[in-house]
Amino acid sequence: MDLSIVVPVYNVERFLTRCLDSIFSQRFPGELEVIGVDDGSVDGSLELLRDYAAQEPRLVVLTHKNNRKLSAARASGMKAAKGCYIMHVDSDDWLLPGSLASLFQRLQSEKPDVIMFNYVRAGPDRVERVVEEVETEKFGPMQPDLLPHFFKSCWAKVVRRELTGGMVYYNQSLNRGEDLILGVEIFLRAKNVLCLPDVYYAYFMNPDSITKTGTEREWFTTRVPVLEAMTALRQRYGAGDGVIDAAVHFQMRIIHKKLALYRLNAPPVVDWAEMAEVLDRLDERGLLSRQVVNADKSFVSRVLNVYRYLGLRWSTSYVINGVLLPRIGRGWQLPASNL
């Protein structure tokens, strides 16, 4: 088997046929399997998968009785894969014509650990723009300048299956932030990458997708397991020449920026009382410095409370830790201690 394509499925009855047709309508010179993983859908997605599989023997259908979230669906597909390489296609997205034959040719000729490529953002009626994350073609060892590409969605890559055994990623149950964990772990395991400026994938900006419908509180809540996973990666792989620190720095910049913006919003985007619980969980694990100023009647404490209330402390932390210190090789770092 040459290529396994994993398609996680959850309540995407409207878009699933388009996704599957974009794969199976293409000419693929090698052996191909598509693994559709239904993650407890409550619409007609599972029935559609089974009907499609009855007509297309290359489609393998896996099911989760209950919704276990996106990372678990991807993990089930990756564990079941038999291909030499694994590719992810989200069920509301699609592959562009000719992409599979072109990718297969490069897999056969260069035999890389990872292929990266470009994609288009597509709305309901038209292609919005081409996202050119890869500017020029190159093939070589993993380099630090490539790392930011692995913080993003996993579907713009093809990965050698040998790199996916026994991953820390398989222990996650996340809808958000899971691609960062998977990308960092693949980066730590891979020896080389083929970067292609070609456009092979269409990312559909679905207003009803998991990432678009989740609340901001849910986003913050998932930062706890995401950063805990970074600790697990450090424990297994070591510092990885700064890879883990860079991933944590990437997350912390977003966390502090969001906190500052939310505190300054009027009306607030999130309820600050609810957010306190999430921030305390991060603080307990040593993942986020959150010094609480005790209210009293002193003038100094009142000034500090205003400073905190306006979100200026988060803004200051973002500027210092996220902008200034990285310029001298410092910034946010994940504690090496166990959680």
> Which CATH number fits the domain that encloses residue 103?
3.90.550.10
Query: Is residue 230 predicted with pLDDT exceeding 50?
Result: yes
Looking at residues 107-115, what average pLDDT do you find?
97
pLDDT band at 129 (very low <50, low <70, confident <90, very high): confident
Q: Are 50 and 162 in a shared domain?
A: yes
Contact 83, 1 (CB under 8 A): yes
pLDDT (average), residues 38-50: 97
Residues 192 and 260 in one domain: no
How far is Cα 220 from Cα 190, in angstroms, rounded to an integer? 30
Predicted confidence at residue 334, as pLDDT, reads 44
Last residue of a domain, one of 190, 211, 232: 211
Q: With respect to residue 282, please indicate whether it lies within any of the assigned structural domains.
A: yes
State which amino acid sits at residue 70: L
Query: Residue 311's pLDDT is what?
Result: 53
Spell out the SS3 assignment of the chain: CCEEEEEEECCCCCCHHHHHHHHHCCCCCCCEEEEEEEECCCCCHHHHHHHHHHHCCCEEEEEECCCCCHHHHHHHHHHHCCCCEEEECCCCCEECCCHHHHHHHHHHHHCCCEEEEEEEEECCCCEEEEECCCCCCEEEECCHHHHHHHHCCHHHEEEEHHHHCCCHHHHCCCCCCHHHHHHHHHHHHCCEEEEEEEEEEEEECCCCCHHHHCCHHHHHHHHHHHHHHHHHHHHHHCCCCCHHHHHHHHHHHHHHHHHHHHHHCCCCCCCHHHHHHHHHHHHHCCCCCCCCCCCCCCHHHHHHHHHHHCCHHHHHHHHHHHHHHHHHCCCCCCCCCCC
Residues 262 and 116 in one domain: no
β partners of residue 138: 195
Q: Please give the torsion angle defined by the CA atoms of residues 136, 142, 146 and 150, in that order, rounded to the nearest 10 degrees.
A: 120
- Residue type at position 96: L
300 located within any domain = yes
Q: Is the pLDDT of residue 150 over 50?
A: yes
Let me know: does 120 contact 201? Beta carbons within 8 Å. yes
Q: For residues 2-28, give the mean pLDDT.
A: 97
Residue 112 placed within a domain = yes
- Please, which pLDDT band fits residue 294 given cuts at 50, 70 and 90? very low
Tell me: do 60 and 139 sit in the same domain. yes
Query: Which of the residue ranges 12-26, 81-95, 203-217 would you say has the lowest mean pLDDT?
Result: 203-217
Structural domain boundaries enclosing 97: 3-211
Asked if 155 and 288 sit in the same domain, the reply is no
pLDDT digits (tens, 9 = 90+) for 151-193: 988 999 999 999 999 999 999 999 999 999 999 999 999 999 9
> Average pLDDT in the 90-101 region?
96
Query: Domain for residue 177, yes or no?
Result: yes
pLDDT-wise least confident of 145-149, 277-281, 296-300: 296-300
Local confidence band at 290 (pLDDT 50, 70, 90 cut-offs)? very low
Determine, yes or no, domain membership for 336: no
Q: What is the mean pLDDT of the chain?
A: 83
Higher-scoring residue by pLDDT: 201, 333: 201
How many domains does the chain contain in total?
2
Cα(10)–Cα(1) distance, integer angstroms: 26
Under the banding of pLDDT at 50, 70 and 90, the label for residue 297 is: very low
Instruction: Identify whether residues 85 and 39 lie together within a single domain.
Output: yes
Report the share of the chain in percent with pLDDT over 70.
72
Residues 291 and 145 in one domain: no
Residues 168 and 317 occupy one common structural domain = no
What confidence score (pLDDT) does residue 267 get? 46
One domain, residues 194 and 236: no
Alpha-carbon distance 258 to 290, whole Å? 15
pLDDT of res. 291: 40
Q: Is residue 338 part of a domain?
A: no
- 234 and 131 part of one domain: no
333 pLDDT higher than 80: no
- pLDDT of 203-226, one tens digit each? 998 777 666 666 777 777 788 889
pTM strictly above 0.95: no
Please say if the pLDDT value at position 128 is more than 60: yes
Assigned domain for 122 exists: yes
pLDDT tens digits, residue range 239-268?
A: 778 899 888 888 877 777 776 655 544 444
CB 133 within 8 A of CB 156: yes
The pLDDT assigned to 271 comes to 56
Domain boundary among 166, 192, 211: 211
Residue 338: pLDDT over 90: no
Does residue 53 form part of some domain? Answer: yes
pLDDT for position 90: 97
Same domain, residue pair 67 and 112: yes
Q: State which of 211, 228, 248 marks the end of a domain.
A: 211
Report whether pLDDT(302) > 70.
no
Name the pLDDT band for 279 (thresholds 50, 70, 90): low
State whether 202 and 226 are in the same domain. no
Instruction: Compare 6 and 132 and report the one with higher pLDDT.
Output: 6
